[in-house]
Amino acid sequence: MINNLKRVLMTGNEAIAEGAIQAGCGFYAGYPITPQNELIAYMAAHLADSGGVFIQAESELAAINMVFGASACGVRAMTSSSSPGISLKQEGISYIAGAQLPAVIVNVMRGGPGLGNIWPSQADYFQATRGGGHGDYRSIVLAPSTVQECYECMPLAFSLADQYRMPAIILSDGMLGQMMEPVLMRSHKPLAISHKPKWALGNSKGRSPNVAKSFYLREGDLEKVNLLLQKKYKTIEAKEQRYQGQYLDDAKVVLVAYGTMARIIKSITHKLRGQGKKVGLLRPITLWPFPVQAFERLALGKMAKKFLVVEMSAGQMLEDVKLVINGRSAVGFLGRLGGGMPSEEEIIKNITSLL
Amino acid sequence: MKKIFSHPRSLRKVTTHYCPGCGHGIAHRLISEVVDELGIREKTIGVAPVGCAVVAYDYWDFDCSEAAHGRALAVATAIKRVKPKTIVFTYQGDGDLAAIGTNETIHAANRGENLTVIFINNAVYGMTGGQMAPTTLVGQKTATTPKGREVKGQGYPLKISEMLKVLPGVKYLERVSLHSPQEILKAKAAIKQAFLNQIQGKGFSLVEIISPCPTYWGMSPRQSLNWIKEVMLKEFPLGRIK
């Protein structure tokens, strides 16, 4: 762990690992896969120094189930991988959601489907925001767009996971994971809230035994658990929406993008504003809960706005934007697939056609 | 007057869901007796499998975790690593430990995790309706081997305990059986040894328990005990493997 308050040049993957350690992560299990290998290597080098446990697991399946075990003991636990490996973890994430355990899962997305390639992509949005595994469940999904944010989203992810006892996913991508930026280290003390749950396994002296499980065989019991989960998800949808807005007040065209894509859109927005063009940026930080409140405010505003969703996918977040806009405004889309990224020229051309 | 026999503190007084003649109830009780005798109930964490023993935590009166099918040793590895003072064991069937979870079994053993593994081998998948297990005998009829297991295409009974013997991380391997009172006493002694090894920090210990499944062997409880003795033990000989 880095102990001094200073700027450190690091990759997005390393910033996530350092952010996790400073957030009090006590357990990490992972399996190598490109482009997230800097993360597992950073954990191998530094987690033990902070009193945490690092395990290179025999598979993605073992890694996520190790996270289940550590989390069941009340220890802040995380794993990381990239798209194909995250697909392998889905059964385990479903169990974690069902057993109501906190856990943080990092997906440094790459091109798919299948083995795809190792280029940056945003094509795992559906998988992350719709549950991904079997059953009616959700994960909190955070999308950093700078290396600084990679570092800062980790204490938030652990705190939210602990508070709501559920999986929190960091949706990064190969570009953000590999790029280096200076990161301002905020503190050398654990950043997340304290965590000593009553439900944790361990020394059972003076209490009745605790059981970590997602299995409810008796008629009606599983429905009750599911209703409890849904109630929790409603609370999160109401209280935990996060986004960043730029030039939204008078924007005629609102660009919607997250993560790496939002970085590019941000600089384009500045450029076009310099030319007097009324464009704005709405960058969701929580992909689930999706920041519908921000869109509602824009849709109810007096000025007629058009939306342009830009993604490194075939249009996945686009569906969430369309759901909230619900036909009240035009929603356009620009995307590149399989590890491609829309060019600045292409994006500006699309914006200009809407202005 | 000294009380020499009673219901184990670690075993809840609940109605069994197991079939008549099933070995799981005996194995659950043996573990409970050992946990009581070693005085470790308050620091024991059991990891239940997927299979007939999926609700083992409804019988044991100590902390437990579930595990996805085959992943008990991954869950147990993490529990023991983050809570090294607890006593952690997995309870797994042949499908869980030797088919879907073979990878976790071999790697937890190879890492020399200081864990206790109770491996129930009844040569069949019980919970799903009697399909072929990795340990099903050649010629044994199951729901998925209606003509009996054939070597060609279905292979041989997998001897996972013998396979684990070559791994330096493994400290103790013993195969025991539940087919007679004498063998049950030996089974208990082996379970106790496997827990003691963990308490003494010796490393990975596994006890394979040959256990009857009258329902899916198509036998009476009495016949199934004889079948273990006369047929199954020829394939799976008892005794210390390592």
The strand pairing partners of B209, in sequence order, are B120, B176
Provide, as residue numbers in chain B, all residues whose Cβ is less than 8 Å from the Cβ of A216. none
Q: What is the mean pLDDT of residues A334-343?
A: 94
Q: Count residue pairs from A and B with Cβ separation < 8 A.
A: 125
Confidence of residue A6 (pLDDT cuts 50, 70, 90): confident
Q: Which residue has the tokens 């109830």?
A: B25
pLDDT digits (tens, 9 = 90+) for A29-78: 999 999 999 999 999 999 999 999 999 999 999 999 999 999 999 999 99
Q: Do A180 and A68 lie in a common domain?
A: yes
Amino acid at A297: R
Residues of chain A with pLDDT > 90, as a percent, come to 90
* CATH number, position A248: 3.40.50.920
Residue B74 to residue A65, Cβ atoms within 8 A: yes
A58 and chain B in contact, CB less than 8 A? yes
Provide, as residue numbers in chain A, all residues whose Cβ is less than 8 Å from the Cβ of B103. 58-59, 61-62
Provide, as residue numbers in chain A, all residues whose Cβ is less than 8 Å from the Cβ of B75. 65-66, 68-69, 72
Q: Which residues of chain B fall short of a pLDDT of 50?
A: none
Domain termination residue (choose one: A216, A239, A262): A239
* CATH number, position A232: 3.40.50.970
Q: Which two tokens stand for residue B217?
A: 């062997």
* Torsion angle, alpha carbons of A89, B164, A213, B132, to 10: 90
Provide, as residue numbers in chain B, all residues whose Cβ is less than 8 Å from the Cβ of A209. 57, 60-64
Residue B75 to residue A66, Cβ atoms within 8 A: yes
Provide, as residue numbers in chain B, all residues whose Cβ is less than 8 Å from the Cβ of A63. 74
Q: Do A58 and A179 lie in a common domain?
A: yes
Q: Do A120 and A157 lie in a common domain?
A: yes
Suggest the residue from B35, B52, B75, B114 to mutate for an interface test with chain A (most A CBs closer than 10 A): B75
CA-based nearest residue in chain B for residue A73: B79
Provide, as residue numbers in chain B, all residues whose Cβ is less than 8 Å from the Cβ of A202. 43, 45, 63, 83, 86
Residue A58 to residue B77, Cβ atoms within 8 A: no
Residue A58 to residue B79, Cβ atoms within 8 A: no
Residue B103 to residue A205, Cβ atoms within 8 A: no
Measured N-to-C along each axis, helices A60-72 and B72-82 cross at an angle, to the nearest 10 degrees, of: 50
* pLDDT at residue B125, rounded to an integer: 97
Q: Do A291 and A269 lie in a common domain?
A: yes
Residue B82 to residue A73, Cβ atoms within 8 A: yes
Confidence of residue A187 (pLDDT cuts 50, 70, 90): low
A134 and chain B in contact, CB less than 8 A? no
A99 and chain B in contact, CB less than 8 A? yes
Nearest to A109 by CA among A170, A61, A157, A158: A170
* pLDDT at residue B4, rounded to an integer: 86
pLDDT digits (tens, 9 = 90+) for A133-164: 999 999 999 999 999 999 999 999 999 999 99
Q: Do A176 and A284 lie in a common domain?
A: no
| A54 phi, psi to nearest 5 deg | -110, 130
**pLDDT over threshold 80, residue A348:** yes
Q: Do A76 and A177 lie in a common domain?
A: yes
* pLDDT at residue A186, rounded to an integer: 74
Provide, as residue numbers in chain A, all residues whose Cβ is less than 8 Å from the Cβ of B106. 58
Residues of B with CB under 8 A from a CB of A: 41-43, 45, 47-48, 54-55, 57, 60-68, 70-71, 74-79, 81-83, 85-86, 103-104, 106-107
Provide, as residue numbers in chain B, all residues whose Cβ is less than 8 Å from the Cβ of A29. 78
CA–CA gap between residue B34 and residue A69 (Å, rounded): 24
**Domain ranges, ordered by start, for chain B:** 24-240
A27 and chain B in contact, CB less than 8 A? yes
> What is the domain count for chain A?
2
Q: Contact A52/A21 with Cβ under 8 angstroms?
A: yes
A274 and chain B in contact, CB less than 8 A? no
* pLDDT at residue A191, rounded to an integer: 56
Q: Do A20 and A168 lie in a common domain?
A: yes
- Buried/exposed B156-186: b ≥16 CB within 10 Å, e otherwise: ebbbbbebbeebebbbbbbbbbbbeeebbeb
**Smallest Cβ distance to A69: which of B65, B85, B103?**
B65
Q: Is residue A1 part of a domain?
A: no
Q: Do A296 and A210 lie in a common domain?
A: no
Domain termination residue (choose one: A185, A206, A239): A239
Q: Considering Cα of B217, then B223, then B224, then B228, what sign does the dihedral take?
A: negative
Residue B67 to residue A209, Cβ atoms within 8 A: no
Taking the CA of residue A181 and the nearest CA in chain B, the distance in Å comes to: 33
Q: What is the mean pLDDT of chain A?
A: 94
Q: Contact B42/A204 with Cβ under 8 angstroms?
A: yes
* pLDDT at residue A33, rounded to an integer: 98
| Alpha helices (runs of H) in chain A, residue ranges in sequence order | 12-22, 37-46, 60-72, 83-98, 125-129, 147-164, 174-178, 221-239, 259-274, 292-300, 317-325, 344-354
Q: So what's the ipTM on this one?
A: 0.97
Q: Do A347 and A274 lie in a common domain?
A: yes
Q: Contact A88/A307 with Cβ under 8 angstroms?
A: no
Residue A58 to residue B63, Cβ atoms within 8 A: no
Under 8 Å CB-to-CB from B159, ≥6 apart: which residues? B236
Domain termination residue (choose one: A190, A205, A239): A239
Q: Is residue A2 part of a domain?
A: no
CA-based nearest residue in chain B for residue A216: B55
Residue A209 to residue B66, Cβ atoms within 8 A: no
Provide, as residue numbers in chain B, all residues whose Cβ is less than 8 Å from the Cβ of A57. 74, 107
Pick the CATH number of B24-240 from 3.40.228.10, 3.40.50.2000, 3.30.530.20, 3.40.50.970: 3.40.50.970
**Smallest Cβ distance to A91: which of B68, B82, B85?**
B68
More reliable by pLDDT, A10 or A191: A10
Confidence of residue A299 (pLDDT cuts 50, 70, 90): confident
Confidence of residue A304 (pLDDT cuts 50, 70, 90): low
**pLDDT over threshold 70, residue A302:** no
More reliable by pLDDT, A310 or A196: A310
Residue B82 to residue A212, Cβ atoms within 8 A: no
Residue A213 to residue B65, Cβ atoms within 8 A: yes
CB atoms within 10 A of CB A208: 8
* pLDDT at residue A298, rounded to an integer: 87
Q: Is residue A24 part of a domain?
A: yes
Q: Do A226 and A249 lie in a common domain?
A: no
The strand pairing partners of B88, in sequence order, are B45
Q: Do A229 and A273 lie in a common domain?
A: no
Q: Contact B30/B23 with Cβ under 8 angstroms?
A: no
Q: Which domain holds residue A268?
A: 243-354
Q: Do A317 and A331 lie in a common domain?
A: yes
Please compute Rg for chain A using Cα positions. 20
Residue A204 to residue B63, Cβ atoms within 8 A: yes
